[in-house]
Amino acid sequence: MKITNKPNTALIETLKTLNKKKLNVGWFESSKYEDGMPVAQVAIMNEFGSVAKNKPPRPFMRNAISDNENRWSKTANQVSKNILKGQSIETGLNLLGVVVESDVKKSIVDITSPALAQSTINARKSRVAKGRKIQATIEKPLIDTGYMLATVTSEVK
């Protein structure tokens, strides 16, 4: 076998292309509630709370990260190996994005505390009495209409 110092051009080009790519997971410009409020703004308010609106933090995103970062790292390593074996970069990153999306959604569903304020529960009951359906129990934090949960997505840029 002949050993050469010539770099593998295809590998170098793949790594350069991969290095330019970015996977984003969350809520993007197009995700808005009917009143025009960006879902990302509501997600941030839920994640960190709002003193002005007397809302406590419900850190679903931070929980998703801390609960899954090791698994995401292993998945990213496998995606990298698959890319080096010929899988398209977009396919690999999109697959990783689906994994992260799923874990963020699970984290939203799993949040049970802090409990909703009685005023929030009463407002939900009032809306239900007027015929509006909710996507979870009236007492469930983070899921009222289900729109924030449904619009978690990923994109490769």
Digit-coded pLDDT (tens) for 93-111: 999 999 999 999 999 999 9
For residue 26, give the 3-state DSSP assignment. Answer: strand
Structure tokens at 53: 């609106």
Overall pTM > 0.95: no
Average pLDDT value for the chain:
91
- Indicate the DSSP class of residue 55: B
* 7 vs 83: CA distance, rounded Å: 18
Digit-coded pLDDT (tens) for 112-126: 999 999 999 999 999
Q: Is the pLDDT of residue 2 over 70?
A: no
* 136 vs 114: CA distance, rounded Å: 16
Digit-coded pLDDT (tens) for 16-27: 888 899 999 999
In the prediction, which pLDDT does 18 show? 81
* 102 vs 109: CA distance, rounded Å: 11
Q: Is the pLDDT of residue 10 over 90?
A: no
Place of tokens 């899954």: 68
Mean pLDDT, residues 36-40 taken together: 97
Strand partners, 139: none
pLDDT tier at 130, thresholds 50, 70, 90? confident
Q: Which residue has the higher pLDDT, 74 or 128?
A: 74
Structure tokens at 39: 């879902």
Q: Which residue has the higher pLDDT, 118 or 86?
A: 118
- Indicate the DSSP class of residue 35: T
